[in-house]
Structure 1
Amino acid sequence: MSTDKADCGDISLLLKKMGEYLDRYQRFEHDDAMQQPAHWRDVLNQPVPQQGVGIEKLMEEIGMTLIPNGSQIPNPGCTSFITTGATNAGVLANMAGAVAAPQRLGLTAFNYLEELSLDWMAEMFELPSHMKGVYSSGGSVANLVALGAARQWVFEQRGSDPARDGISHRCHIYTTRACHRTVHRAAAVLGLGRDSVIAIASDSMGRMLPNALMKQLDQDQRGDIVPVAIVANAGTTGTGAIDPLRLIGQLARQYGVWFHVDGAYGLPGILDPKVRHLYDGLELADSVIVDPHKWLGAPVGIGATFVRDRSILHRAFTQQASDYLEGSFADTKAEHSMDSSGVPYYDFGVELSAPSRGAVVWALIREIGKEGLKERICRH
């Protein structure tokens, strides 16, 4: 029988039982979820419960019906997705944040780890020391944030504020046919339009041809089209191709165009000495993204955007002052963890409420270190 109060506290016994269910799942001795779909659908497909079943019965349903019919993605033999199963360190840190820091804001250890873990990744992946980042839910939002920064910067150069006024000028984003489709969606959301994304010719390996890019930039200059960003790939989804970053970055500087590098899954490849040279020119980027929920082994839901000047993100995405927030945080010296929001990541992207993702990335790196991650990348 249930009570009128959800179960909170005394979580250790529940976690022990949950751990047993998950250990059994990770042995992958069970059938695939689609072997007996009618069975688990019949168990789960119930009307809205008027009376709850209580935490013990719920745990049984989770362990006996839900978990065994989960995804094959964590299976070591699954090669269908770039996202992976999470390591124990990521799972545990994720759970710790869910309980101890359900929001990333505040003067907490979790808020501190947002910045520290971003800095760790920037250093490991050889980004310039001035680049600062912000977490989001994955590559879709990470690309959106980066291109939002590009839009803000290019129109500020023309004397306007697109975050305030919107845009009324035809724009182009330059990439290849191999780019991730989240770039097109970001263009749509930002008001640039999907058709603003121009496919530049590539070679037989799927790498952008700099001469074709230069030709398109020259043509657009004559046509009075605003060049918002060049999006280069540091690891395409289909083949892992890396565009010639230095040549593209130099063209971006020459034409005054924002240079964005999509390294959602491929950026950690820079740790492999055999392919390190392919990332030459990465330091020219104005923005770079990476997804820790791919090669780093984080639970799905963690992406990061790095930009050369984080104040651009603030101008592009700030919520601005609100009456309902007036007085929420103290202007004087903080004496309590909630006297300040800490680093205001909510003004650097599109998320206000957000989990403590930095603790997860910190745990992943802290557990095995840069050398452990390097060994994984090289082995893969």
Structure 2
Amino acid sequence: MKKSLDLSHQEFKSFLEQVNQLVLGQYAELHQQKGFHDHAPKTVASWFDEPLPEDPMDLQALLTEVQNKVFAPATGNMGPNMYAYVMAGGNQMGTVAEFLAATINQNNTKWHLAPSMTEIEKRVVQWIGKAIGYSDTAAGVMVSGGSGANLTGLNVARNVFLAEQNMAQSGLFGLNPITVYGSTETHNSVEKSLVVLGIGTDNYRKIPTSVDFKIRLDLLEQAIQKDLEAGFSPFCIIGNAGTVNTGAIDDLEALAQLAKKYRMWFHVDGAYGGVAAALESVKPHYNGLEKADSVALDFHKWLYQPYEIGCTLVKDWGQLKRTFFQKADYLDTALQDTSERLEINEHYFQLSRNAKAFKVWMSIKAYGFGAIKAMIQKDIDLTRYLAQQVRLADDYELVATDVLGVACFRYSPQDMDDDKITALNQQLIPALETDGRVFITGTKLHGVFVLRACIINHRKQQSDIDYLLEVIRELGSKMITHG
């Protein structure tokens, strides 16, 4: 029997060299990468339909299987032909950082389990909090993504708001129903969060938006007043700092004032667009962000990080600790000098945590935050270029775009009525997926089905935008010709 699972030094060295070639090959082919590989679910399932292996496999054969069954058919979100969903393509330093972090295998939960990683997480929180104009002394934790960031922010909001009712000990039973307010464009993770937190979707008020997809402030205040009169306890307003449908940014300053007026918590969902607040070109659109009680961010969007990493920012560490701290003798650090130690497990739900912030720290150090901002600006400029090309074309129709990286449009040939245009665009989605050259999905805006192009990838160029429109036009015209 072997003494451990480890390979010998030479075996591991040889294996890593082969892994390096696999990784380098992936990056070498990014610009030729298809957006999607159309394999039937049953086909993909068949690749992995095998009994539990009891004996080891030859490592070269294993890497070949990884190449053929995992790498080759992977959805092309790293390459320039991905437009479906608000997801970036990662970056090379993030790839390396994930490998390095896994190598030392730190549990980023208590300071003495991950001293450097804990300090790195603190520093990343401070860097980003300052960069987006939120706070020079922000507190925060790394989470799985934007959904986790919204859940964490709303968790803190609920606990702080109901602290006097002893909610953390007694629960929500018997308390006056608390209500939450967001727009019809707010991300669905908010509703999921309300289910998890025991607030319930019946107590979520979806406020209509104006023609530019920003929350109607007049209707919001009317809803708050109506709930107060009905005996509810309005407790949280959610502002959007970049909706996933159009990139719309709510009037955060006005929302902050309303929250203050009614003594409510103000949470900003900046999972998609929050980091763009660091850009001078769009910074005025984020006025009021600094007044938020909590902010949700998603770093595998516009910090171009590999999955997964998000972040929740709040004004002070005490709010996190009052929400998540539970004493346990086996976690007690009273025997150590804890005056300057941050115990993340006392400020967040998870006890076992990987070192998510390390890849952000390493990326910023390697590229410089200025270069990252330049890539975000390029994405925004490319979105404007797409919108311009759609406007100039006689067979496309621009439906919506804003100041960030989303454009919604329709393939709209002349002399075709609206119902047929809608049907054609709906049929284009599966057709484009089968074709695979570009990957784009759709959504509905005010009831109208549209194609939604999300441009959040530092590798895209103008030629990629032209190619997107060419492929859609080619498939669309064939569908019309062949019925």
TM-score (norm 2): 0.72
* CA positional deviation for 1:68: 1.3
Moved more, 277-286 or 60-69: 60-69
Match of 2:96 in 1: 92
State the alpha-carbon separation in 1 of the partners of residues 273 and 13 from structure 2. 38
Q: Partner of 1:293: helix, strand, or coil?
A: helix
Q: Partner of 1:69: helix, strand, or coil?
A: coil
State the alpha-carbon separation in 1 of the partners of residues 331 and 287 from structure 2. 47
> Residue 33 of structure 1 contacts residue 69 of structure 1 at CA under 8 Å; is this kept in 2?
yes
Partner deviation per Cα, 1:93-146 (whole Å, 9 max, x = no partner): 111111113311334211210101111111111112232111111111111110
Amino acid at match of 2:219: A
Match of 1:69 in 2: 73
Match of 1:20 in 2: 21
Match of 2:149 in 1: 142
Alignment of structure 1 residues 103-114 onto 2, 5 Å: 103-104=107-108, 105-107=110-112, 108-114=115-121
Amino acid at match of 2:25: R
Match of 1:294 in 2: 301
State the alpha-carbon separation in 1 of the partners of residues 197 and 45 from structure 2. 39
Q: Which runs of 5+ in 1 are unaligned?
A: 335-339
> Residue 84 of structure 1 contacts residue 297 of structure 1 at CA under 8 Å; is this kept in 2?
yes
Q: Which has the higher contact order (CA 8 A, sep 6+)?
A: 1
* CA positional deviation for 1:294: 0.7
Task: Select which of 317, 321, 330 maps to 2:327.
Answer: 321
Q: Partner of 2:268: helix, strand, or coil?
A: strand
State the alpha-carbon separation in 2 of the partners of residues 49 and 36 from structure 1. 25
TM-score (norm 1): 0.90
> Residue 163 of structure 1 contacts residue 315 of structure 1 at CA under 8 Å; is this kept in 2?
no
State the alpha-carbon separation in 2 of the partners of residues 201 and 326 from structure 1. 47
Alignment of structure 1 residues 221-300 onto 2, 5 Å: 221-300=228-307
> Residue 33 of structure 2 contacts residue 79 of structure 2 at CA under 8 Å; is this kept in 1?
no
State the alpha-carbon separation in 2 of the partners of residues 272 and 43 from structure 1. 45
Match of 2:382 in 1: none
* CA positional deviation for 1:34: 2.7
Match of 2:171 in 1: 166
Task: Select which of 39, 54, 57 maps to 1:53.
Answer: 57
Match of 1:357 in 2: 356
Distance 1:65 1:316, change over 3 A: same
Amino acid at match of 2:169: R
> Residue 242 of structure 1 contacts residue 278 of structure 1 at CA under 8 Å; is this kept in 2?
yes
Distance 1:53 1:342, change over 3 A: farther
State the alpha-carbon separation in 2 of the partners of residues 5 and 54 from structure 1. 18
Distance 1:271 1:6, change over 3 A: same
Partner deviation per Cα, 1:271-320 (whole Å, 9 max, x = no partner): 332321110111110000111111111111101000113212212222x2
* CA positional deviation for 1:203: 0.7
Distance 1:33 1:218, change over 3 A: same
Amino acid at match of 1:371: G
Distance 1:341 1:88, change over 3 A: farther
Match of 2:85 in 1: 81
State the alpha-carbon separation in 1 of the partners of residues 316 and 272 from structure 2. 23
State the alpha-carbon separation in 1 of the partners of residues 122 and 46 from structure 2. 46
Structure 2 residue 106 is the aligned partner of structure 1 residue 102: yes
Moved more, 8-17 or 177-186: 8-17
> Residue 124 of structure 1 contacts residue 370 of structure 1 at CA under 8 Å; is this kept in 2?
no
Partner deviation per Cα, 1:167-197 (whole Å, 9 max, x = no partner): 1321110000100000001111111001211
> Residue 101 of structure 1 contacts residue 110 of structure 1 at CA under 8 Å; is this kept in 2?
no
Match of 1:337 in 2: none
Amino acid at match of 1:22: V
> Residue 137 of structure 1 contacts residue 303 of structure 1 at CA under 8 Å; is this kept in 2?
yes
Task: Select which of 148, 167, 184 maps to 2:191.
Answer: 184
> Residue 122 of structure 1 contacts residue 129 of structure 1 at CA under 8 Å; is this kept in 2?
yes
Q: Which runs of 5+ in 2 are unaligned?
A: 380-483
Moved more, 170-179 or 91-100: 91-100
> Residue 292 of structure 1 contacts residue 303 of structure 1 at CA under 8 Å; is this kept in 2?
yes
Distance 1:218 1:151, change over 3 A: same
State the alpha-carbon separation in 1 of the partners of residues 322 and 99 from structure 2. 33
Q: Partner of 2:96: helix, strand, or coil?
A: helix
Moved more, 124-133 or 8-17: 8-17
Match of 1:151 in 2: 158
Match of 1:377 in 2: 376
Partner deviation per Cα, 1:331-357 (whole Å, 9 max, x = no partner): 2348xxxxx995222222221111101
Match of 1:121 in 2: 128
- Percent identity, please: 27
Distance 1:230 1:298, change over 3 A: same
